[in-house]
Chain A
Amino acid sequence: MSDDRPLSEADKALATQTAEELRAAALAAAESLPVDVHPPTLFDVQEMELNFGPQHPSTHGVLRLVIRVDGERILHTLPDVGYLHRGTEKLFETETYPMGIPHTDRLDYVAAATNNHAYCLTIEKLLAVEIPRRAQLIRVILDELQRLSSHLVWLGTSGIDLGAVTPFWYAFREREQILDFFEEYCGARLTLNCMRIGGLPFDITAGWVERLMEFVDDLPSRIDDYEQLLTDNRIWKKRTVGIGVISGEECIEWGVTGPVLRASGVEWDLRRAQPYECYDELDFAIPTRVNGDTYDRYIVRVQEMRQSVRILRQCLERLPLPPGEFRGKVPRVIKPVAEEVYASIESPKGELGFYCVSNGTNRPYRMHVRPPSFINLQALPRLAKGHLVSDLVALIGTIDIVLGEVDR
């Protein structure tokens, strides 16, 4: 053994050099000396790069983040998306306009109804068709149910991300009921395909309305339950308050929309700003908060669920009960004029838009999706900077991304 061997020059240098030099010196020394200079290890370097995902439960799908950390602190985040890319926009070009609707289900797969809605709205704008009032009301009902279910998924999963397992069971209990309503309406629970260009595929039944009314009456007390578990929970607050603060100005600069924007104090909601269907005659508030941190985004989403309940109740009351027309006058073969149009709605995640270019045939020449998750995810490096690795999990949850929509 060589314990009493005098220190070599390289060994002496080890004691005084900085991490960067240490690393280089250690590498050089490891090559020149045959014995005893250990190769560089994790403990020699201050900064390191970590792969977070793509197979990681808290990335909510297949999101890969390359993070540079100094100890536990994040210096830089590099999102790497595209693992779920299926070429949806290319597929739209190969099929007729109505055949595109099921593809939209697979974008944001926890909120299929709003995707269907945005797609149909775009083509209706291109065709300039009128939608019967009954269809408008039912569409709003489906949208708001979908918003509730999407926010419930968000609530459950982002709770689990931060160690709060209990809310998940409550949130998914109610979500199951919502999915039952969808199943009863259109036969599907997730990939709904529940709207058609010009209206809806089916009318709703009286029993459905009554049961939904019962559920809606019950829901506020359920939301109270979730709030009781989280809103004043000390652990929840420690993990969320002050994490990922972003100002309203910055949100706009980054193109961030939806609850994230509203939690930063910007009262902007497409349902109010550019009302579609019959949102202009409904009475609801746009919840906003001012701090723009993860906790505020939680509060905004919970408040939005309460507003959704209000909207649902109003729509159900207004729904004329003798069944009526639920599809507008749309030609059998849809051939819009050779024009271009952009239409967007407020999806649970933010502004979901479709940009459609028609060349006068029965297939879209180009159909582009403006997905809220994709654009909102852009701001993640900005949100995560300087926080701890464990906060990154909270931040991915708080943006509420769905990778089906990010990657399309």
Chain B
Amino acid sequence: MAEETPPPVPPPSDAPAEPAPAAPAAAPAAAPKAAPPKKVEATDASAHPWVESLRSGVAGSVISAKEFARQVTVVVPREQVAAVARHLKDVEDFRYCVDVTAVDWRDREPRFDVVYHFYSFSKNDRIRVKCGVGDGEEVPSIAEVFLAANWPERETWDMFGIPFAGHPDLRRILTWEGFHGYPLRKDFPVEGIDTGAAVYPEEWPEGGGPAPDDPNRKTVS
């Protein structure tokens, strides 16, 4: 999509349509729903009780913490991930590991973020834990702490090539055994790679996906 310049935000034209002769002066101010400020920004959450608890419970575990859209994100060093997960589970009662995934920041150092989401039934709230991981570096597996993290960690390994140390069964899960490459890395081409599995090379050329002169071929950097 061509990037258009964002249109200027029009002034709210739907000013309270109904005339308010009977209403007192306070009505017009309250009528348009008190919209939140357009620019939502993350705030610092290092004083948040969970972050405080982590800081005191696991030494040197909190690098930074922020809050956005009422979601707390804590950045921890990768060596501490298992200890942090254990602390959150046992002390802060985050018993449900919602998800494990990763983000590839290609040019950043360290290259990846491994992202964990935990949920607490007693608090009815979630916490997000992130750790930076360089290419080829290992992250301690939390599959021993949360059984639920088993497959998501395998998926993260499969899609990003981030190895989880101590994982009971770290194999590819969505792609097949023998697949080379990590599809969700930013340098993996969208049109696919040659898997060596071409059966009819004249019809399906090497490299997988559409042929180079195919108008449907799409390359996204």
Contacts and interface: CB of A to CB of B under 8 A. Distances in A.
Given A333-B3, A333-B4, A341 B69 contact: yes
A255 B103 contact: no
A34 interface: no
Given A254-B148, A341-B69, A362-B1, A85 B98 contact: no
A366 B3 CA distance: 19
B147 A254 contact: yes
Contacts of A87: 183
Nearest to B68: A339
A73 to B, nearest CB: 23
B4 A332 contact: yes
B104 A366 contact: yes
A80 to B, nearest CB: 9
A183 B121 CA distance: 38
Given A94-B218, A255-B146, A332-B4, A81 B124 contact: no
Contacts, number: 119
Contacts of A378: 147-148, 150-151
A337 B151 contact: no
The main secondary structure of chain B at its interface with chain A is: loop
A130 interface: yes
Interface string B141-175: 00000111111100100010000000000001111
9 contacts: A81-B173, A94-B190, A94-B218, A99-B1, A252-B95, A333-B3, A339-B69, A353-B98, A370-B117
Interface in B113-159: 115, 117, 121, 124, 126, 128, 146-152, 155, 159
Given A87-B183, A273-B124, A331-B7, A255 B1 contact: no
Given A94-B220, A273-B124, A340 B175 contact: no
Contact of A366 (B38, B69, B103, B149): B103
Contacts of A331: 6-7, 9
A85 B124 contact: no
Contacts of A90: 183-184, 188, 190
Nearest to B172: A82
Contacts of A126: 69
A342 interface: yes
Given A94-B220, A96-B1, A362-B3, A255 B174 contact: no
Interface residues of A, number: 50
Contacts of A357: 103
Interface string A355-371: 10100011001101010
List 10 tightest A-B contacts by C-beta distance, closest first. Answer: A255-B148, A82-B174, A370-B99, A368-B101, A85-B174, A94-B220, A128-B40, A366-B103, A378-B151, A96-B1
A344 B39 CA distance: 23
Interface string B63-98: 000001101010000000000000000000001111
Given A252-B96, A254-B148, A341 B39 contact: no
Contact of B98 (A99, A335, A351, A365): A351
A366 B102 CA distance: 9
Interface in A84-130: 85, 87, 89-91, 93-96, 99, 125-126, 128, 130
B147 A253 contact: yes
B35 A130 contact: yes
